[in-house]
Amino acid sequence: MTSNAFTLDDVGVTFETPDGPLIAVQDVKMDVEKGRFVVLIGPSGCGKSTLLRVLSDLLPASKGTARVFGGSGAQARKERRLSFVFQDATLLPWRSVLENVRLPLQVGRWSRLKREANDPAEMVRLVGLEGRENALPHELSGGQRQRVAIARALVTRPDVLLMDEPFGALDEITRDRLNDELLRIWRETGTTIVFVTHSLSEAAFLGQTVVVMAAKPGRILDVIELDARKPGNEIDRTGEAFFGITSDLRHLLERADAA
Amino acid sequence: MKNRFEWLWPVAGFVSLIVLWWGLIVVRDVPKYIAPKPGAVWASLVDNASLLLDNLWPTATAALGGFIIGNLIAVILATIFVHSARARKMYFPVVVVFNTIPIIALSPILILIFGLTLTSKMIVAAIICLFPTLVNMLRGFESVSSSELELMRVMSASRTEVFLRLRLPRSVPFLFAALKIAATSCVIGAIVSEWIGAEKGLGVLIIQTTFDYRTELLYAAIAVSSALALVLFMAVTLAERFLVRWRTN
């Protein structure tokens, strides 16, 4: 038994393009303990989304191995221990809120896995959409749609929640509120979260571990553990400590840009 | 703002054109065997109601039967093509070439094979519906986004599940766009087939009254054909309103 949620060992991804091979990420080594909130931050093209796709077996690694709970990403995906939240909420527009949240339980041999699911209505309440169960996606705001996507991701009680810039398209006020709620949900569920963003303040606010990445080729520049500076992963957005973390991250990213 | 007298506008449009038609015939003193007055067409509609109805049923049956068969085959073909790239490469060009054959040339061939039967009429109506629906359904099945497909993959959904839960519901608005085209073209198919040869039907009536200079009855038959297509079109529109309540955001 391992207490790691996942392990990336020397992972590299190379795409074949007409202009020759393109290295999306290289030499990625990372161990993440169960239950942690990990944020990947970096400029566009640094391969942060690619890493999420390798973890969830949407994309094969060209080199190295990715292991999720000691097994392969494919296995974890088939066992439905992974959930994904995309930048675009990707709700099925013909399904109501409740029906969208129920979707993961209706596909992918869920019933044969004999795993316990969360109650879809309960998940809708968890993300604060009580009373909107029967609304259709086009009747919701962007922030509400993303809440539904989170509820849908949680309905299968995933061990790992992978989030690819889920709040990237939202205004800052909505984004702050959803970040508060995401932390609350994380505490309530104990799910390991890997969260991709290119917002410094989002990274500083959410992450216990912040992985700073650089582009061309995509690689890990630094891994910052914030436990000492954010006891209990709680921080005041207006406080001194928060600004300290954001400016540290900013310096690292500027260095990445210069390199 | 929409008010409850909104429907008066199209009515006024039709009435204005009918008045224009009537006026032209009176002013130019057009003989009634060339073009009848609107009133005379109405009178003919009423007087020949049972003859018109008698000829409406065979045409309506052929059109509706062809509509159902043609669209069903189109949906099945689209389903096969979206799942098998090889089948699509082999047979989609065949369908395209087949579609270039003028329907009026295809009709005699079918009559030689099936005789002056309802079957040959239905096949013509079916063929005319098939192509637009096939093309629309293919596009509908493929209108899924890459993130939707990724979502289905993360959930380990099977190909059947991707089809039933994602592609099929996604394609419904495309299906209705095609059905609206088919609703009017299937009537054209049935009537064209009746021109080439049939014992009864609106197409037969149109040909006969043209040759006999029974112009009022010809116009009445045309009005009934148009009403048939209109009823089918409205049925499709109503079904769509009932079934498609969602919108893409």
Share of chain B above pLDDT 90, in %: 84
Q: How confident is the model at residue A259 (pLDDT cuts 50, 70, 90)?
A: low
pLDDT of A152-195, one tens digit each? Answer: 999 999 999 999 999 988 888 989 989 999 999 999 988 999 99
Domain count, chain A: 2
Apex CA A167: angle with CA A45 and CA B170, to 5°? 90
B239-246 average pLDDT score: 90
Give the tens place of pLDDT for each residue, B93-143. 999 999 999 988 888 899 899 988 899 999 999 999 999 999 999 999 999
Q: Find the residue in A nearest to B161 (Cα).
A: A107
SS3 A21: strand
d(CA B139, CA B90): 18
Share the mean pLDDT of chain A: 90
Strand partners, A6: A32, A68
Phi, psi of A19 (to 5 degrees): -90, 15
Yes or no, beta carbons of A109 and B156 under 8 Å apart: yes
Range of the domain at A197: 4-81+159-258
A1 band by pLDDT with thresholds 50, 70 and 90:
very low
CA B145/CA B143 separation, integer angstroms? 6
Please indicate, yes or no, whether residues A136 and A243 belong to a single structural domain of this protein. Answer: no
Give me the pLDDT at residue A129, please: 93
Closest CB to B156 among A87, A94, A108: A108
CB contact under 8 A, A82 and B154: yes
Contacting residues of B for A108, CB less than 8 Å apart = 155-158, 161
C-alpha closest to that of B18 among B38, B41, B43, B32: B38
Q: Does residue B17 lie in a domain region?
A: no
pLDDT of res. A115: 86
Q: How many domains does chain B have?
A: 1
Residues A177 and A243 in one domain: yes
Any domain includes B5? no
Token match 């009445």: residue?
Answer: B220
Model pLDDT, residue B2: 64
* Nearest Cα residue to A127 out of A104, A143, A150, A105: A150
Question: Is there a contact between A108 and B172 if contact means CB atoms under 8 Å apart?
Answer: no
Residue B1 has pLDDT above 60, yes or no: no
Query: How far, in whole angstroms, is CA B208 from its chain's centroid?
Result: 24
CB contact under 8 A, B166 and A92: yes
Query: How far apart are the CA of A107 and the nearest CA of chain B, in angstroms?
Result: 5
- CATH number where B96 lies: 1.10.3720.10
Cβ–Cβ < 8 Å for A123, A88: no
Supply B54's token pair: 């008698």
Residues A114 and A212 in one domain: no
Query: Which among B150, B161, B169 has CB closest to A94?
Result: B169
pLDDT tens-digit readout, A234-246: 898 888 899 999 9
Exposed / middle / buried, residue B95 (Cβ in 10 Å: 0-12, 13-18, 19+): middle
Summarize pLDDT for B57-89 with one digit per residue, the tens. 999 999 999 999 999 999 999 999 999 999 999
Cα dist. B203→B62, B72, B121, B224 in Å? 11, 25, 11, 11
Among B151, B161, B171, the residue to mutate for chain A (most A Cβ within 10 A): B151
What is the largest distance, in Å, between two alpha-carbon atoms of chain A?
53
CB contact under 8 A, B165 and A136: no
Range of the domain at B47: 36-243
| Chain A nearest C-alpha distance from B135 (Å) | 22
Interface test with B, best of A57, A94, A159 (most B CBs within 10 A): A94
Domain membership of residue B22 (yes or no) is no
CB B158 within 8 A of CB B99: no
Classified as helix, coil or strand, B98 is: helix
Could you give the 3-state DSSP secondary structure of residue B99? helix
Asked whether residue B90 is domain-assigned, the answer is yes
A contacts of B156 (beta carbons < 8 Å): 77-78, 80, 107-109
Chain A residues with at least one Cβ partner in B under 8 Å: 56, 58, 77-78, 80, 82-84, 86-88, 90, 92-94, 103-104, 106-109, 136-138, 145
Q: For Cα atoms B200, B203, B206, give the angle at the middle one, nearest 5 degrees.
A: 105
Q: Model confidence over A49-69: pLDDT tens digits?
A: 899 999 888 888 888 888 888
Q: Do B165 and A78 touch (CB under 8 A)?
A: no
